[in-house]
Amino acid sequence: MDVVNLADSVQFNPEKMKKNNLFQTERFFCDVYCFEPGQEQKGHIHGAQDKIYLVIEGEGTFQVGADKQILGPGQGTMAPAGEEHGVKNHTNQRLRVLVFVAPNPS
């Protein structure tokens, strides 16, 4: 059995958002995205994958389609396949987001 500790997934990169993989199979993956203040994941589209974002720490501006909303700890949203989506850490604090994507685009 693979066991992970979310506290171990606190790896940030001063240059760009850091993706920290927790689990991955042929069918899905689960990462923790770490954003320093001002960093973002620019809007993009996955044609055949759904993505779920759950905020672990901090606050960020999340975009799904034409909608943008600020989410904080314990809040989440889903970007269905084909919808443009992205995240921006608009604050001066760090942001950590648990991310699930299925099916795995690899």
Q: Where are the domains of the chain?
A: 14-102
Instruction: Provide mean pLDDT across the span 33-57.
Output: 97
Domain 14-102 belongs to what topology? Jelly Rolls (2.60.120)
Mean pLDDT of 91-98: 98
Quote the longest CA-to-CA distance of the chain.
Answer: 40
Beta bridge partner(s), residue 79: 51
Q: How many beta carbons lie within 10 A of that of residue 105, not counting itself? A: 12
Q: Give pLDDT, residue 9.
A: 82
Of 106, 89, 91, nearest in space to 42 by CA: 89
Can you give the pTM of this predicted structure? 0.94
Q: Using pLDDT thresholds of 50, 70 and 90, give the confidence band for residue 10.
A: confident
CA 40/CA 3 separation, integer angstroms? 29
Mapped onto helix, strand or coil, the DSSP state of residue 6 is helix
Mean pLDDT computed over 65-88: 98
